[in-house]
């Protein structure tokens, strides 16, 4: 079993810097939303059409095959803020209705390639994911929440960065919520420091049937980690609880571990702490999973199938990402920046589906 990544005598000083933020400060402001300029959109349009004409498979898109001389410089600055700053970005104004699905995928994956390498999001090898209600039952242990209209509790994804591009919105609901896990740590340190050690202990987490060769159907992972001077967070309570339900041989959670998760959920659902945002078609949201938790309200779709809520998703591994401790390897496959994260099982072949599967 992996040892906790927080020695008992570690200095538990508060986290400082731009990664510590509160929704109460950002909610009234709009400076965290960046609109594409007309020149950037024109450059993006040129790149999309040139890439499509060149015949390169979308799975192989890169800054070299998708040049953005002007926008690319802006994306480099945004990446620094994602990895070293407040950990999230919202880009607004991409004209999704102007493009075919293939062109939407090219544009979005092209932008994503400036942030990192696309990683497989499921056992099927999807480099481009589709967040869409497929009418599946979450009680099926192999179904994941992004395939339903159910509320997603606050969580992180198993990769350095996640991105969403909104194509269509729901009739009601589906709002996005994010929170700084660094601010959460500081709040726990200030008010319940007795629970911090429990958050550095392993929590068995369900793989939802997507099991790499030679691995168990769950992985053991602390919620907080300290490594080379950085604090990181990984948290999916719904899958922690399903591991307790489905795998009696997995380690049972202690009372302190459950109480610590209860406190996280209480804090993160406080409007003083989280930031809410309603997506518009063309919005691109990018999050740094090691310092941001995200959630989504349940939603109701329009009756017409062609109007159903639909988002494209990317999982990205930046080459400039922070170092991670070895405990991440059973989930990330590797801890090498630029080559880690995602889900790969026997038979997984990377591909780019243009519709939800």
Residue 152 inside a domain? The answer is yes
Domain holding 129: CATH number? 3.60.130.10
Residue 343 inside a domain? The answer is no
Residue 269 inside a domain? The answer is yes
pLDDT digits (tens, 9 = 90+) for 311-332: 999 999 999 999 999 999 999 9
Residue 49 inside a domain? The answer is yes
d(CA 163, CA 157): 10
Number of separate domains in the chain = 1
Q: What is the pTM of this model?
A: 0.94
Q: State the DSSP string of 257-279.
A: HHHHHHHHHHHHT-TTT-EEE--
The residue range of the domain holding 84 is 23-332
Q: How confident is the model at residue 11 (pLDDT cuts 50, 70, 90)?
A: low
Q: Which among 78, 136, 117 has a CA at the least distance from the CA of 314?
A: 117
Eight-state DSSP code of residue 160: S
Radius of gyration of the chain (CA): 20
94 contacts 107 by C-beta, under 8 angstroms: yes
For 334, the enclosing helix (H) or strand (E) is none
pLDDT digits (tens, 9 = 90+) for 71-115: 999 999 999 999 999 999 999 999 999 999 999 999 999 999 999
pLDDT digits (tens, 9 = 90+) for 119-145: 999 999 999 999 987 777 677 767 777
Residue 247 inside a domain? The answer is yes
Residue 160 inside a domain? The answer is yes
Residue 185 inside a domain? The answer is yes
Distance of CA 103 to the CA centre of its chain: 23
* pLDDT value of position 1: 43
Residue 132 inside a domain? The answer is yes
């Amino acid at each position: 079993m992996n040892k906790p990544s927080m020695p008992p005598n570690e200095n538990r000083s508060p986290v400082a810097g731009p990664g510590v933020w509160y929704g109460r400060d950002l909610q009234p402001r709009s400076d965290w939303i960046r609109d594409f300029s007309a020149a950037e959109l024109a450059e993006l349009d040129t790149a999309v059409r040139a890439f499509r004409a060149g015949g390169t498979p979308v799975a192989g898109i890169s800054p070299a095959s998708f040049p953005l001389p002007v926008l690319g410089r802006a994306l480099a600055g945004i990446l620094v803020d994602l990895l070293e700053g407040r950990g999230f970005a919202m880009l607004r104004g991409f004209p999704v209705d102007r493009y075919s699905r293939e062109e939407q995928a090219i544009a979005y994956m092209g932008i994503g390639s400036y942030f990192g390498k696309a990683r497989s999001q499921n056992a099927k090898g999807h480099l481009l994911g589709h967040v869409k209600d497929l009418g599946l039952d979450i009680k099926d242990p192999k179904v994941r929440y992004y395939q339903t209209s159910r509320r997603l509790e606050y969580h992180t994804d198993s990769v350095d960065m996640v991105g969403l591009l909104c194509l269509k919105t729901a009739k009601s609901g589906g709002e996005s919520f994010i929170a700084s896990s660094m601010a959460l740590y500081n709040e726990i340190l200030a008010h319940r420091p007795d629970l911090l050690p429990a958050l550095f202990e392993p929590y068995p987490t369900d793989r939802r049937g997507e099991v790499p060769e030679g691995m168990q159907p769950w992985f053991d992972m602390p919620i907080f980690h300290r490594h080379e001077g950085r604090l990181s967070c990984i948290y999916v309570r719904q899958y922690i609880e399903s591991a307790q339900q489905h795998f009696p041989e997995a380690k049972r959670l202690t009372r302190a571990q459950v109480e610590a998760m209860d406190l996280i959920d209480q804090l993160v659902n406080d409007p003083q702490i989280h930031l809410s945002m309603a997506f518009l078609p063309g919005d691109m949201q990018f999050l740094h999973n090691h310092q941001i938790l995200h959630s989504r309200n349940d939603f109701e779709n329009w009756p017409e199938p062609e109007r159903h809520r639909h988002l494209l998703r990317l999982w990205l591994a930046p080459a400039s990402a922070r170092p991670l401790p070895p405990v991440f390897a059973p989930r990330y496959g590797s801890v090498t920046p630029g080559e880690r994260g995602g889900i790969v099982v026997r038979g997984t072949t990377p591909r780019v589906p243009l519709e939800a599967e």
